Structure 1
Amino acid sequence: MATQTQTLTIAPSAPIPDIALNNEPITISPSPAPVPQDASPAVSSMSKRDITLLLTPLCLSVLLSSLDLTILTPSIPSIVSDFASPQGYIWIGSSFILAHTASTPIWGAVSDIFGRKPIMLLSQAIFFFASLLCALAENMHSLIIGRAWQGVGASGMGMMVNVIICDSFSMRDRGLYLAVTSGVWALGSAIGPVIGGVMSTRLSWRWCFWINLPIGFIVFLTILIFLPLPSPPKTPILTGLKALDWSGSLLIIGGALMILLALDFGNVVLAWSSPTVINLLVFGILTLILFFFNEWKLAPNPIFPARLFPNLSTIAAYGVFAFNSFVFIGLAYYLPLYSQSVLGANALVSGVHLVPLIVSCSLSAAFAGVTIQKTGRYLPVMYAAQVFLMLGVGLFVSLDFEERENLGKLFGYEILAGVGVGMNIEGPILAAQAAASELDTAAVIGAMGFARSMATAVSVVVGGVIFQNGMDGRNGELVQTLGEELAKRFGGGEAAGSIEWIALLDREHQQVVRAAYFESLRMVWIMYVAFAGFATLLTLLVRGRKLNEEHKAVVLGVERGRRTQQQPQVEMEFVTEARSAEGRASEIRQRNVGDCH
């Protein structure tokens, strides 16, 4: 009997045709999954008008949240002087970063249940009233509380912007628009010191907060009226609150706060060997370990499900994003200190010195987004970015104190580092999203945001510790030159807030003090070179994927959590059924081959 050459396509629950088979491969095709009824409509074919209406308020939101990350940097000496609180120097920035970091993972989970637009408006409102509290602050404690609430609001704004863009565009197209908002984030983070310098020099540091109010109000109204988003799910508040992962939320907030407080206290308020610092570090790490155990084993609707980290490549993508953020925020935070302490620039000029970093970072982010959109590949862009970053940051170490007024070198190195950071903003995000389900878009953004916020907080603190240790190491030389009383002004814990005292010294003593700042900051640059190197090594572990041009609808509401839980089970049932079907097909093939003989 002759055998007929055919290829059998097997779908689950479909009967196996009783026909003769040869050894041709079997193609197993799953039945198409039904589209959820409450899924948001695809918006990948948005008009230019809708894209403009979408991006304008989102970019303004990113600008506001990123500005407040660094806008107070040049104004801190003035604030410390006004409130007569030198120890408040670190807390003005740290309170914002602590709250920003701890709250970042929560926003994505909340928006999955209640919808993107309501949560975006909530975060805007929190940021608005926190800015008002800061502007009216009458003492350091009020300012620190206001900064903490600003961090909460800014965290939600930044998270929602990225989630909304990922909801609105295909994997391939979103790279371009993520590049736009990421470029705005880099722009805001970098020009923050410029604007802050103008405000503190020409007006008052309080204008760093007043400026948020009119812009924030306009953005709020624009989002409320014009933002082209699907209607939010009609989730009852109590039902939605019950669906949240409260245990995971408390664990990640508690763990992050303990670790960051330990880093803030260490060598500033308390010694590293003090029981308080050690206990905060140990219990913070243990709490985060317990958080991940809860997420992967216990929580029904986890904030960070285990499926977000399927392989080493995806974990490396999170690491690249975190380490690059670590380096960038360090440059944006400590270059103004370099300009003021070593070069003798005022707050305004020190902000202007960041312009090369700003422009190169923003333009390179846009270039990377266009390249990824056209090619559908992100890995070559990531490789090129790390080369620029390593080169730029490494050259900061080669700066010579005797040639410190050669601004051409400084600006050139800033451009190289800025290109490296800008080109590698969206690549790691796309690498992680390409390995995840569309249902986990907000979770991936939340994990990336948490990685960036944690890296940002640790970067400022670790950089500050290294700088302070450097100044303490030169205390003997300063005492010999300035005397013990005056040298205390430039000791480790006081150095960053005592820059204005340098101008009061005679020229010879200024040189000694500026050299101490220069060498201490050089140690900071060396540390950032090391972290840029870590990011480069991790980039080699990231696997490239061709980005999909298809846009899939997003599912929101409480039902979304149930579908997410059912997804792995459905996939496993299909695989089991498909394997069973293939086994039956193999039996038919063997039987027919036997008939031939």
Structure 2
Amino acid sequence: MSGGVVPALMRRDHRTPVLIALILTMALVAMDTTIVATAIPQVVGDLGGFSLVGWVFSVYLLAQTVTIPVYGKLADLYGRKPVLVVGVVVFLIGSALSAIAWNMVALILFRALQGLGAGSIGATVNTVAGDLYDVAERGRVQGWLSSVWGISAVVAPAIGGVFAEYASWRWIFVVNLPIGALALTLIVRGLHERVERHTHRIDYAGAGLLLAAAGLLILGLLQGGTAWAWDSVPSVLVFAGTVLAALVAVLVERRASEPIMPPWLWTQRLTAGSYGATLTAGLMVIGLSTFLPTWAQSVLGLGPVAAGFVLAVMSMTWPLAAGMSARFYLRIGFRDTALVGALLTVASGVVFVLTPVDAPVWQPVAGSALMGAGMGLITSPLIVGLQSTVDWSRRGVVTGGAMFARFLGQSLGAAVFGAVTNAVLLHRLDDAPAALRGQVPSTVDGVSRVLEGGRADAAASDFLRAAVHASTHAVFLGLLLAGAATVVILLAAVPRRFPTVDEPHPSREPGARPVSGTPEADSAGG
């Protein structure tokens, strides 16, 4: 093995407890992304600080995203197990402290600590899965891991609401402790690695610059258009700092002996193109997840449960498609399987763009199902494909780069789609007929209150529904364009063949035939 790192050789029956631990740790990260949302009124009532509420979510996403590449590199240098264990411990400490937060500032700081632990989990869980399972099995495992995110997106807000209403919002964080303790126990007892110890020169300068560049970029995307205007001085300074930190990081990484994010990740066509497609996939996911439920309630008049079901369909078809993806990429290759998924997202975008104000419910459900299937066929084959092109000593950094690209795409999508919907909706409100001026709100925030409160007559309600539809229609058009961009990236920037690395698989005995040497695995290269 290059780098002197040799993964443990595990028997097949030893993998199940570790996989359960991976699913549990992934569930911790996924649930804490959304579980706080429904409890915010109770949190504010207890702690105050309503003006800081946005940071409860933003700081978690920010800390998680920017640290993923660093953890991915550390997992290659020192092994997956210590990085994952430290990440889970940090996450649980952040959870325990969040549960006893005495004001909003303290809660934000402890959520940042949670995010630091979540970054380690996000970087290493998929890497460990790649270590344990061969190319033919990884698609199924990725389907299970993807299902965690889908289930959490539906279940977590409901759990948060139950705790807030019948117990205390603090239980949202307390519940992480027994789950995390069980996951830690399974990891410590079941995950074994043999890592040859060497002295490593940690790229502190590169890590700091990478954190600064990514942090400033995501900060600008999250706060632009909300905390400050896009063309304001703070926005210009933040994005200028992003560019400067990124340029210096490139220079430092080129000279580092063990760079945190090796330049070849972004210069090789295969990795750079795959990351680009993963980024646009993340953009589509956040666009649909954020705006589809609101559109279903405000425009179609569905209740919260029914609107949640429309989105939940995506969460159902995503893991199903990811689980079935191995059947495709073993036959037609990783790139072409992802291309099929991208075409499904384009079809989803067409369905949503053609959805009228008075659409039947089956139409957005169909669009949601297509989007989920497309995501499963894009993300899983690309991660599995990238993992198959490198040996154990580089699998962490490659997987971490893919996860970083996905979360960066979600941050970009939240910013872009949020700005687009606000601009379109505000323009429609400004152009409201004079006869409706008294009933139509002048701000974007007032639209949902008027529609939900039933304070407007039929004409005003119809106007507001049409305005919300127009603003969401712009997001649907963005989804279509993002799907088309994914197709172009896959065709233009990703080679059809993924060259697989011929290395012994950790689930097999020494001397056994390498998984990547089987005819099926070789065919996955294209």
Which TM-score tier does this pair reach, normalised by the shorter chain?
A: 0.7 to 0.9
Which residue pairs with 2:482 in the alignment?
A: 531
- For the pair 1:505 / 2:472, whether they are aligned, the reply is no
Gaps of 5+ in 2: 507-526
Write out aligned runs for 1:30-429 (5 A). 39-43=6-10, 46-47=11-12, 49-75=13-39, 87-88=51-52, 90-189=54-153, 191-193=155-157, 195-196=159-160, 206-225=170-189, 227-231=190-194, 243-295=201-253, 297-345=254-302, 347-372=304-329, 374-375=330-331, 377-403=333-359, 406-429=360-383
Post-superposition offset of 1:208:
3.8
Q: Deviation at 1:104? A: 0.9
In structure 2, what is the equivalent of residue 8 of structure 1? none
Cα separation, 2, equivalents of 1:485 and 1:507: 8
- TM-score w.r.t. the length of structure 2 is 0.85
CA contact (8 A) 1:308 1:436 kept: no
Across the aligned residues of Structure 1 and Structure 2, the Cα RMSD in angstroms comes to: 3.1
**Which deviations, in whole Å up to 9, do the C-alpha atoms of 1:428-448 show, x marking residues without a partner?**
223434444543111101211
Amino acid of the structure 2 residue aligned with 1:108: G
Aligned residue-pair number? 504
Give the secondary-structure state (helix, strand or coil) at the position aligned to 1:424.
helix
Structure having the higher Rg: 1
User: In the alignment, is residue 519 of structure 1 matched against residue 470 of structure 2?
Assistant: yes
Deviation track 1:26-60 (CA, whole Å, cap 9, x = no partner) reads xxxxxxxx8887623444xx32x212122111111
Contact 2:221-2:412 within 8 A present in 1 as well: yes
Aligned to 2:517: none
The whole-number CA distance in structure 1 between the counterparts of 2:93 and 2:307 is: 29
Distance in 1 separating the partners of 2:446 and 2:206 = 39
Give distance in 2, aligned partners of 1:505 and 1:455.
38
* Alignment partners' CA distance in 2, 1:68 and 1:78: 16
Letter in 1 for 2:317: S
- C-alpha deviation, 1:304, in angstroms: 1.7
**How far has the Cα of 1:392 moved from its partner?**
0.9
For residue 474 of structure 1, give the secondary structure of its aligned residue in structure 2. helix
Contact between 2:287 and 2:414, CA under 8 Å: does it hold in 1?
A: yes
Q: Identity of counterpart residues, as a percentage?
A: 25
Task: Report the Cα distance in structure 2 between the residues aligned to 1:253 and 1:459, rounded to whole angstroms.
Answer: 20
| Partner amino acid, structure 1, of 2:220 | A
Deviation by residue 1:531-570 (Cα, 9 ceiling, x = unmatched): 111111111132233664854379xxxxxxxxxxxxxxxx
The alpha-carbon deviation at position 381 of structure 1 amounts to: 1.5
| Matched letter for residue 308 of structure 1 | L
How far did 1:310 drift?
5.0
Question: What code does the residue aligned with 2:192 have?
Answer: L
Q: Deviations over 1:434-475 (max 9, x none)?
A: 444543111101211211121111111222222222222123
Conservation of the 8 A alpha-carbon contact between 1:170 and 1:550:
no
Equivalent residue number for residue 464 of structure 1 = 418
Q: CA deviation at 1:358?
A: 1.0
Query: Contact 2:325/2:337 (CA < 8 Å) preserved in 1?
Result: yes
Taking a change above 3 Å as real, the CA distance of residues 293 and 549 of structure 1, as seen in their structure-2 partners, is closer
Q: Could you tell me how far 1:133 is from its partner in structure 2?
A: 3.3
Q: 1:37 to 1:357 in 2, by over 3 A?
A: closer
1:565 maps to: none
Distance in 1 of aligned mates of 2:173 and 2:300: 28
**Distance in 1 (alpha carbons) for counterparts of 2:472 and 2:44:** 21
Q: Does 185-194 or 421-430 show the bigger shift?
A: 185-194
The separation in 1 between residues aligned to 2:450 and 2:57, in whole angstroms, is: 19
Q: Name the CA distance, whole Å, in 1 between partners of 2:235 and 2:177.
A: 38
- Give the Cα–Cα distance (whole angstroms) in 2 for the partners of residues 518 and 84 of structure 1: 34
CA spacing shift, 1:528–1:79, aligned 2, 3 Å: farther
SS of the residue aligned with 1:120? helix
Residues in 2 aligned to 1:539 and 1:318: alpha-carbon distance in whole angstroms: 10
Structure 1 residues 63 and 229, CA, compared in 2 at 3 Å: closer, same or farther?
Answer: same
* Partner AA of 1:230 in structure 2: E
Corresponding residue of 2:393: 439
Whole-angstrom distance in 1 between the partners of 2:33 and 2:332: 32
Moved more, 325-334 or 533-542: 325-334
Q: Distance in 2 between matches of 1:261 and 1:481?
A: 41
Q: Is the 8 A contact 1:183 1:366 kept in 2?
A: no
Letter in 2 for 1:106: V
What residue identity is the alignment partner of 1:422? G
Contact 1:171 1:549 in 2 (8 A): no
What is the distance in 2 between the residues matched to 1:348 and 1:196?
A: 15
CA distance in 1, matches of 2:412, 2:110: 21
**Deviation digits for residues 43-101 of structure 1, max 9, x if unmatched?**
4xx32x21212211111111221222233445556656776666445433322211111
Q: Which runs of 5+ in 1 are unaligned?
A: 1-33, 555-597
CA distance in 1, matches of 2:111, 2:436: 36
> Cα–Cα, structure 1 residues 481 and 358, in superposed 2: closer, same or farther, change >3 Å?
farther
**CA-to-partner distance for each residue in 1:478-497, whole Å, 9 max, x for gaps?**
69567579825xx24x359x
Distance 1:321 1:147 in 2: 26
Q: Is the contact between residue 382 and residue 427 of structure 1 (CA under 8 Å) also seen in structure 2?
A: yes
Change (3 A) 1:200 1:470: farther
What is the alpha-carbon distance in structure 2 between the residues aligned to residue 35 and residue 114 of structure 1?
A: 14
2: CA distance between counterparts of 1:91 and 1:524? Answer: 24
C-alpha displacement of 1:368: 0.5
Deviation at 1:102, TM superposition (A): 1.1
Letter in 2 for 1:273: D
